[in-house]
Structure 1
Amino acid sequence: MTIGQRLWRGVLRVFGWRLVGEFPYPRRFIVIGAPHTSNWDFPLGMLAARGFGLKISFIGKASLFRRPFGWFFRWFGGIPVDRSQPTGVVEQAAAAFDGGIDRILVIAPEGTRSRTDTWRSGFYHIARAAGVAIIPAAIDADRREVRVGAPIESTGDVVADMDRVRVFYEGINGIRPERQGLIRLREEG
């Protein structure tokens, strides 16, 4: 563990949080961060990423990358996507893995901090298109932990793959649990 990782973990400890689990090598995968229920999820997730020693990327709507804060989001690894072309978002995000470079793409599958009946399936389709694993990660507010699960390879059997995702998130509550929805993709029927 580097000095920087120890520092970031110390900052988390000051606020009463700890990190649980480890990320695999090589560093080419999609992290799904859930439940996404609070504005605090982003700064807590960024601290956790530094504590795990990760250089992450995330996709965001293109408007986030305009002035005055665009430089900030790019500095933190942001990749702007044009959501006005919904069929192109998966391709835009999967292209970030081109060339065999290490890339960790973090996605909040709910797509919002509000309660939803289904998760957006983009993370699943991006993982399939890029040929990378999905790693579930959670902000577990009850235990004050940011935890990481084992890699899940997307097999194309959406229900079976999502069953493995649901097992990881069972019993985990976000910062605002009343905003948590079902862990389910529209494709599951």
Structure 2
Amino acid sequence: MKLLSKFIFKTILGWKLVGSFPKNEKKYVLIGAPHTSWKDFMIGVLVRFATGEKLNFVGKKSLFKPPFGFIFKWLGGSPVNRQKSTNLVDAIINVFNENDEFRLAISPEGTRQYVEKWKTGFYYIAKGANVPIVMFSFDFGNKQVELSEPYYLTDDMQADFNHFYQFYKDIKGAKPSLFNNKNLL
């Protein structure tokens, strides 16, 4: 799977990977942006398999039931029980706390549509789980995926979001008009 994914990503699609996943971090939140097309998920899956990095995502518990639930688990999914009295951020923090290794891939925009401001759940998840954030870009303008070094959050949310802005400010998504890279918070 690794060789086939590399071949498709690099040779057939002509993309490249800039940077690498952190080797010394067993837990982090990976934010992928801009998320403007269904193609982003496919690029992300190819990178995951090409690098061999174990990445996770969360989904509602019902997605993980037969007959197709095994596919979501195979792709790194973890079910979250929303029926309990915890909110989604707390439920995901619990997933981090229950696992020795967990790398959550999430879109800070929360949708493929244009948004005025990013959702902040990823930020509070990283804060609550005490894990860094790694930024992952889908740069269709340069046909590359770029990864940042782990970023450890400060006590200044605006400064943290300014750091994210600097990373994503020149990135062109599959549908550039759907990415607001001027006002993340």
Q: 2:168, 2:40 → 1: CA distance?
A: 16
| Residue in 2 that maps onto 1:51 | 50
Residue 58 of structure 2 corresponds to residue 22 of structure 1: no
| Residue in 1 that maps onto 2:111 | 112
Deviates more, 1:110-119 or 1:70-79: 70-79
TM-score by length of 1: 0.86
**Matched residue of 2:29: which SS?**
strand
Q: 2:99, 2:81 → 1: CA distance?
A: 24
| Residue in 2 that maps onto 1:11 | 8
TM-score by length of 2: 0.88
Residue 90 of structure 2 corresponds to residue 88 of structure 1: no
Kindly report which structure 2 residues correspond to 1:16-165, keeping only aligned pairs within 5 A, or say none. 16-24=14-22, 25-66=24-65, 68-81=67-80, 88-99=87-98, 101-165=100-164
Give the RMSD, CA atoms, in angstroms.
Answer: 2.1
User: Percent identity among equivalent residues?
Assistant: 38
Whether contact under 8 Å (1:22, 1:148) holds in the other structure is yes
Whether contact under 8 Å (1:9, 1:18) holds in the other structure is no
| 1:110 CA drift (Å) | 0.6
Deviates more, 1:83-92 or 1:176-185: 83-92
Deviates more, 1:48-57 or 1:94-103: 94-103
Letter in 2 for 1:184: L
Whether contact under 8 Å (1:133, 1:152) holds in the other structure is yes
Whether contact under 8 Å (1:109, 1:123) holds in the other structure is yes
| 1:103 CA drift (Å) | 1.3
Q: 2:28, 2:158 → 1: CA distance?
A: 20
| 1:75 CA drift (Å) | 1.8
| 1:102 CA drift (Å) | 1.7
Any gaps of 5 or more consecutive residues in structure 1? none
| 1:71 CA drift (Å) | 2.4
Whether contact under 8 Å (1:9, 1:19) holds in the other structure is no
Q: 1:118, 1:64 → 2: CA distance?
A: 28
| 1:41 CA drift (Å) | 0.9
Any gaps of 5 or more consecutive residues in structure 2? none
| 1:126 CA drift (Å) | 0.5
Q: 1:62, 1:41 → 2: CA distance?
A: 23
